[in-house]
Chains A and B, each alone.
Chain A
Amino acid sequence: MDILYLPELGHFALILALVMASVQAIFPLAGSLTRQPLWLAYAQPAAWAQFVFLGISFLLLASSFLLDDFSVVYVANNSNSALPWFYKLSAVWGAHEGSLLLWLLLLAGWTFAVSLSKGLPADVLGRALSVLGFVSVGMLLFVILTSNPFDRYLPRIPTDGADLNPLLQDPGLAFHPPLLYMGYVGFAVTFAFALAALWSGKLDTAWARWSRPWTSVAWAFLTAGIALGSWWAYYELGWGGWWFWDPVENASLLPWLLGTALMHSLAVTEKRGLFKSWTLLLAIATFSTSLLGFFLVRSGVLNSVHAFANDPDRGLFLLLLLGLTIGLSLLIYALRVPNLKAKAAYSLLSRDVFLLANNVLLVVATLTVLLGTIYPLLMDALNQGKISVGPPYFNALFVPQMLLLGIFMGLGPLSDWKSMQWSKLKRKIWLAGLLSLLLGFAILPWIYDGSWSLAVALGLTLFLWIATTSIRDIWEASRGKKGWKGISRSRWGMMGGHLGAALIVLGVTMVSNYGEERDVRMAVGEPVSVKGYEFTLVSLGQRQGPNFTADTAVVEMRSDEGKLLKTFTPEKRLYQVRGMPMTQVSIDWGPLRDVYVAMGESLDDQAYAMRIHYKPFVRWIWWGGFIAAFSALLAVTDRRYRIRVPETAPAEAGTSRQQG
């Protein structure tokens, strides 16, 4: 009987969490309106209780999965008694309802962390918690009213579940959503701080200092989540691509781009007291795009191979939620932001301006991606017919934008705040510039391929430019009094982040220009040559897996001299419960290139259509992403964030407060 009532307890815990979230949202609001500081303090315990109840709810759902309680609709639709236990666990967030619960749990977790942070004035903390509470209330209502994961099949209980989508039965995808959601939800904290600042009217630079570490952590998770998703798509979908400009991917890119802009603009606001209202707007916009992406993916307004099942009711509820959250916060912004005249002066040649350029470019890139993503929707709404926007649109605009951004990425770290002489900047960058132009633009393309093309030359130049300037910056920092040990972690973090970006540029350049993708007909025994390797289909076979049947192939790769380099064993599986075909690729991976073999379709007994891909440097894209994510986390551990009392913050911040 204990099993039977667990889902009801989970549902009940969810409702209690809603009550707690309401307390957390409303009491500080009422307290600040009626000037009762004590009421602000209620937010803290309410936030803790909300976290606990959501945790209970989540654990109970997970236990329903582990206990194979198929009377729960969500479990029946996404699990099966034959599923291994770890996939039963990851199936908790394998579809709409459960992933919402995860989203909420993570939001409550972030809220809990905020409520513990020391050094925040009580009124700011109360207000920020109140904002987070409102976000949580909205989402909890959505879950309880439209997407309850604890709904039951009664009275007829299915004997077994419909199984987890085979594409999701993969370790990469088990971790992808939690990482991604940590990012999306993390931006809610910065959003809450921004609204709390607007609400209290205390628009000094302090809020920027509080927001920075939270933003960086959220950004790190989002970056890692996107990188993991891209890697998963590469090996699991069997198409060999790592980015498809699909609406769902774009939905994750929007907050990432704005979050990147926000991290940099927060730095300017904290250090120099500049761009205050701009940074506030960015903080609101970043979280808003997280929510917008959420809506786009779950309401079914966009055609995506990845979209959730359509449900107009849910869509309307979400739109209402989206409208209230974003609309109200933008309204508060418009009404409360004072006409701030920047008091600090800055010259055209300064880090301030370079970071401004970074912000402008990133915002333009965000708008580009947003426009391309929702353009089909706009046209449809205007009765202009059903259209789709292809990857060429995104590539044609996004790539040059990132190229420009890369130039500023090199200039930023080497320039001074406020103003600097051109001669000084020149002294710092000439070597890096010369090196990257000489090596990247002129020499390296020849060495690698024996030919030259503009795209490769530009890409490699950019890679070297970002990398060498970062290294130059860290080298310069090491010449301080304490040498290498004196370099702050946030400086290491900046270098790592930029180096990560440089590696991504390198990977993207190489794989897009030198990669080769061949769809070939392979008959047993007939060799096919791709990129200097010789591939031979040795045999075709069939095998029976635990919950699938598979066509199998054995493909040998040999060098020019006939030396056997690798034996590939790709499979084409048909998962039986869902009748779903899956491509199991076989990859020979390495730092300089991946060779990727996937089975397409059966042509006859002795021949199969195969994809053979040669992917130079493709791994650097993901490594770059993970390095950047790790660096952002490193920067957060900088000692100046650990110092609780603001007065002992580094002199830099102190002086800027006087200026700002």
Chain B
Amino acid sequence: MTPKRKKKLWILGLMLAGVSVTVGLTLFALSSNINLFFTPTQIQAGEAPENRQIRAGGMVVEGSVKRDPDSLRVRFAVTDSNAQVWINYDKILPDLFREGQGIVAVGELNADRELIASEVLAKHDENYMPPEVAEALEAAGKLPSGSQESSEATEATY
């Protein structure tokens, strides 16, 4: 084997090793970090895994939001009008969080099938609502003057 060939073999070998390590790590990282979405019905039926990060979403059930008076801990239920799931959270809820609104929570299910959320995102579908929600919002003094458009956050950034 000429030195030149030997060198080429080295480079090729190193590259191959690098590529396979990278591909392996990538697949591993992907498989352990994708968050599947589950509806409350699926969660109640036991289709969602425990102790693994998932996303759950639905409408916040009216009157279900319970706050701890001394901290930010909050507990509320979301429903897909078929089943409901309790969500526990201890950070600041998003600006658009309201009863009767759609939200998506990221977190893990505990043994009681309650979601311990690490993140709660409000869906920005706020300009369509049933009268009960409008009433509740008005009573709470939180009725926005109209549509919410925060989905356009940085629309000009590309």
Contact = CB atoms under 8 A, between A and B. Distances in A.
A507 interface: no
B149 interface: yes
B18 interface: yes
B29 A396 contact: yes
B124 to A, nearest CB: 8
A388 B55 contact: yes
Interface in B89-113: 90-93, 95-97, 106
Interface in B1-36: 4, 7, 10-11, 15, 18-19, 22, 25-26, 29-30, 32-36
Contacts of A375: 30, 34
B49 interface: no
Contact of B95 (A306, A308, A576, A601): A601
A165 B149 contact: yes
Contacts of B26: 368, 371, 397
A305 B152 CA distance: 7
Interface stretch (A118-126, A172-180, A474-482): A172-180
Nearest to A372: B30
A396 B28 CA distance: 10
Given A387-B35, A397-B26, A348 B156 contact: no
B6 to A, nearest CB: 10
Given A519-B72, A519-B92, A390 B53 contact: yes
A424 interface: no
Interface in A585-625: 600-601, 603, 609-611
A173 B93 contact: no
Contact of B92 (A353, A364, A611): A611
B92 A609 contact: yes
Contacts of A332: none
A387 B37 contact: yes
B126 to A, nearest CB: 9
A360 B68 CA distance: 52
B71 interface: yes
Given A168-B156, A305-B153, A397 B93 contact: no
B128 interface: no
A578 B146 contact: yes
Contacts of B33: 389-390, 392-393, 396
A574 B30 contact: no
Interface in B43-99: 53, 55, 67, 70-72, 90-93, 95-97
A371 B25 CA distance: 13
Given A345-B4, A387-B37, A609 B155 contact: no
B87 to A, nearest CB: 16
Given A578-B146, A601-B92, A609-B92, A387 B34 contact: yes
A180 B153 contact: no
Contacts of B71: 521
B35 A229 contact: no
Contacts of A229: 154, 157
Contacts of A581: 95-96, 144, 150
Nearest to B31: A393
B92 A165 contact: no
A105 to B, nearest CB: 15
A293 interface: yes
A407 to B, nearest CB: 14
B105 to A, nearest CB: 12
A323 interface: no
A54 B91 CA distance: 49
Which bracket fits the contact residues of A?
Answer: 35 or more
A580 interface: yes
B148 A580 contact: yes
Interface residues of B, number: 47
Given A348-B10, A348-B11, A393-B30, A360 B18 contact: yes
Interface string A378-407: 010000011111101100110000000000
A579 B145 contact: yes
A348 B149 contact: no
A347 interface: yes
Contacts of A386: 36-37
Interface stretch (A31-39, A88-96, A142-150, A453-461): A88-96
A28 B26 CA distance: 45
Given A165-B155, A345-B4, A519-B72, A578 B35 contact: no
B22 A306 contact: no
A347 B7 contact: yes
A293 B158 CA distance: 8
B139 to A, nearest CB: 15
A283 interface: no
Contacts of B93: 600-601, 609
B157 A95 contact: no
B155 A579 contact: no
B157 A521 contact: no
A434 interface: no
A569 interface: no
Contacts of A345: 4
B34 A389 contact: yes
A24 interface: no
B92 A600 contact: yes
Contacts of B18: 360, 364
A403 to B, nearest CB: 13
Query: Interface centre among A167, A305, A579, by most B CB within 10 Å?
Result: A579
Contacts of B157: 173, 176-177, 180, 229, 248, 252, 306
B153 A388 contact: no
A396 to B, nearest CB: 4
Contact of B158 (A167, A180, A353): A180
A167 B153 contact: yes
A611 B94 CA distance: 12
A91 to B, nearest CB: 9
Contacts of B29: 392-393, 396-397
A237 interface: yes
Contacts of A165: 149, 152-153, 155
A482 B9 CA distance: 43
Nearest to A247: B158
Given A248-B158, A600-B92, A305 B7 contact: no
B67 A519 contact: no
A159 to B, nearest CB: 16
A294 interface: yes
A392 B153 CA distance: 23
Closest 3 CB pairs of A and B: A600-B92, A393-B33, A579-B144
27 contacts: A94-B155, A94-B156, A95-B155, A232-B154, A233-B154, A248-B158, A293-B158, A294-B158, A305-B151, A306-B152, A307-B151, A372-B30, A385-B36, A386-B37, A387-B37, A390-B34, A396-B25, A397-B29, A519-B92, A578-B148, A579-B144, A579-B146, A579-B148, A601-B97, A609-B92, A609-B93, A610-B92
Interface of A: 93-96, 99, 165, 167-168, 173, 176-177, 180, 229, 232-233, 237, 248, 251-252, 293-294, 297-298, 305-309, 345, 347-348, 353, 360, 364, 368, 371-372, 375, 379, 385-390, 392-393, 396-397, 519-521, 574, 576, 578-581, 583, 600-601, 603, 609-611
Given A309-B152, A603-B67, 14 more contacts: A99-B158, A165-B149, A177-B156, A248-B158, A293-B158, A387-B36, A389-B34, A390-B106, A393-B29, A393-B34, A579-B145, A579-B147, A581-B96, A611-B92
